[in-house]
Amino acid sequence: MAGKYTPLSSTRSAFKSPILLFALSLLALSVLFLLFTRTPHSNRYSNENHYSSPNFKPETSFVASLEHFLTRKAPRSPPARDDTMRSEATDEDVKRLDDMVYRGDAERMIGDPYYPVNLPIRVYVYEMPSKFTYDLLWLFRNTYKDTSNLTSNGSPVHRLIEQHSIDYWLWADLIAPESERLLKTVVRVHRQEEADLYYIPFFTTISFFLLEKQQCKPLYREALKWVTDQPAWKRSEGRDHILPIHHPWSFKSVRRYMKNAIWILPDMDSTGNWYKPGQVSLEKDLILPYVPNLELCDTECLSKTESKRIILLYFRGRLKRNAGGKIRAKLVAELSGAENVVIEEGTAGEEGKAAAQKGMRQSIFCLSPAGDTPSSARLFDAIVSGCIPVIVSDELELPFEGILDYRKIALFISSSDAVQPGFLLKFLKGVSRAQTRELQRNLAKYARHFLYSSPALPLGPEDMFWRMVCFCVLLYP
């Protein structure tokens, strides 16, 4: 498998054939069946007893989880060495790895009746120098209370890092002791020849926002050389490597040299404003949701707030954005002053977060237009708040499409329709009470798929990501 992995293509044309759609549906069902049946029952739930106490509550706050990780779990001394190369791999190193992978695949093909199905996914996590990993996490932790640090458009830097902290959540789960992990879709291996995929644990978003430019660019170049010197990278030219670059500005100066890798993105940005042509595609990259800013409104919360949801449509955020986000100004012009509609300019800090949470929990529908890219963190805030998202973004690719049916939790309206005088409000008022309740019930069920946590939970976003990877490996071995 290693070196031959090609992610799933979700191209529209593939689904124009009913026969192909039916075949892919059967294959998807087979994936899920194998995912749950090939893992022995005793192993699948072996760690869950530890977390089965009624008082157990997973940590969903990035700041709190990071504090616990750094002060209690981070190694005080260098980690035990695996076979990560500390210098540039030679041609002989690459050939040696290639021969070992070939022998391993041949043995599995003969001895494993399910080959090339490979569950759990075996991931090799590079032991990168601490300047790419722990030092950056400590930098975030030690500067978190510096609220004066803002981006050019006024957004708090540390809050942006939290929204894009998927690299932390994935890595923290992968390197946790197996006795503390709940996910069985993925397992860490310590030898490169045993891996299906290779994870690059470089915190590109933290480095971009918290380092000075003269520090950041050299660090990016160092990370690029360090990774591309590895024999596994040289063997496949990076096609089986996972690179988290969840903020579209991060790793920008050198990422073109790693375009073969599997990028983890917030969306595909079909506008072309953030990624060069050919850098990202549905044929190799995967989407993970933003980390929600707001607290979960669970089933009990939804029941308590049902009668308090008196606002028809709610939006709080930046009213002016670039690229596809220009739709926001048009929507503001159309909706401002309408009855039962709240449109507010977003504000930073805890006060702004509290206002957004209160507003979403008082609203039936939450407007989710495009931002600077086709997606927005607001969509996932709405989902965990029990507020039905109204998505106005024509080019949006959503996380876990193919597993989740977003029509069960959200309404989709084209940009051209949404800005027509009176169209949007008439449409929303025409949604029946029964439809609204069904969407709200589904939101309560779907919310777990968007809540990152420590430990990572089955059916949480970390698990859903690896399930997507499993699905891709089956289709494109």
- In terms of domains, do 124 and 201 share one? yes
Residue 473 has a pLDDT of 59
Q: Using CA atoms, how far apart are residues 80 and 266, in angstroms rounded to an integer?
A: 33
Query: Which is nearest to 385 in space by CA: 405, 415, 355?
Result: 355
- In terms of domains, do 316 and 194 share one? no
| Residues 6+ positions from 100 with CB-CB distance below 8 Å | 193
Q: Is residue 56 part of a domain?
A: no
Q: Is residue 284 part of a domain?
A: yes
Residue 21 has a pLDDT of 45
Per the CB < 8 A criterion, the answer to whether 38 and 114 are in contact is: yes
Q: Is residue 242 part of a domain?
A: yes
Query: Which is nearest to 220 in space by CA: 246, 257, 248, 247?
Result: 257
Per the CB < 8 A criterion, the answer to whether 475 and 27 are in contact is: yes
- In terms of domains, do 323 and 260 share one? no
Token look-up 């990071």 returns 66
β 411-412/286-287 pair status: unpaired
- In terms of domains, do 90 and 166 share one? yes
- In terms of domains, do 317 and 440 share one? yes
Helix intervals (H) in 244-325: 299-305
- Residue 120: half-sphere exposure toward Cβ, Cα within 13 Å: 19
- In terms of domains, do 222 and 349 share one? no
Domain count, the chain: 2
Tokens at 355, concatenated: 């206002």
Q: Using CA atoms, how far apart are residues 155 and 160, in angstroms rounded to an integer?
A: 7
Q: Using CA atoms, how far apart are residues 455 and 68, in angstroms rounded to an integer?
A: 12
Q: Using CA atoms, how far apart are residues 16 and 318, in angstroms rounded to an integer?
A: 37
Three-state secondary structure call for residue 192? helix
Residue 330 has a pLDDT of 86
Residue 220 has a pLDDT of 96
Per the CB < 8 A criterion, the answer to whether 122 and 128 are in contact is: no
Q: Using CA atoms, how far apart are residues 106 and 390, in angstroms rounded to an integer?
A: 50
CATH code (residue 433): 3.40.50.2000
Residue 345 has a pLDDT of 83
Three-state secondary structure call for residue 394? coil
Domain residue limits at 151: 62-291+464-474
Beta strands in 406-461 (DSSP E): 411-412
Q: Using CA atoms, how far apart are residues 104 and 284, in angstroms rounded to an integer?
A: 25
Three-state secondary structure call for residue 287? strand
Residue 150 has a pLDDT of 64
Burial class (CB in 10 A: 0-12, 13-18, 19+), 72: exposed
- In terms of domains, do 470 and 437 share one? no
- In terms of domains, do 439 and 420 share one? yes
Query: Which is nearest to 289 in space by CA: 274, 267, 307, 257?
Result: 267
- In terms of domains, do 209 and 348 share one? no
Listed as ranges, residues in the chain with pLDDT below 70 are: 1-55, 75-83, 85-86, 109, 111-118, 146-155, 270-273, 321-325, 348, 372, 472-477
Q: In what order do the strands lie in the sheet with 186-189?
A: 186-189, 121-125, 197-199, 241-244, 262-265, 286-287
- In terms of domains, do 236 and 97 share one? yes
Q: Is residue 36 part of a domain?
A: no
Residue 9 has a pLDDT of 36
**Does the N-terminal peptide bond of residue 120 adopt cis geometry, omega within 30 degrees of 0?**
yes
Q: Is residue 311 part of a domain?
A: yes
Cα separations in angstroms, 348 against 158, 209, 354: 11, 17, 10
- In terms of domains, do 93 and 77 share one? yes
Q: Using CA atoms, how far apart are residues 78 and 233, in angstroms rounded to an integer?
A: 23
- In terms of domains, do 323 and 280 share one? no
Per the CB < 8 A criterion, the answer to whether 62 and 162 are in contact is: yes
Three-state secondary structure call for residue 1? coil
Q: Is residue 38 part of a domain?
A: no
Q: What is the DSSP letter of 408?
A: G
Q: Is residue 178 part of a domain?
A: yes
Residue 315 has a pLDDT of 93
Residue 146 has a pLDDT of 67
Residue 88 has a pLDDT of 78
Q: Is residue 155 part of a domain?
A: yes
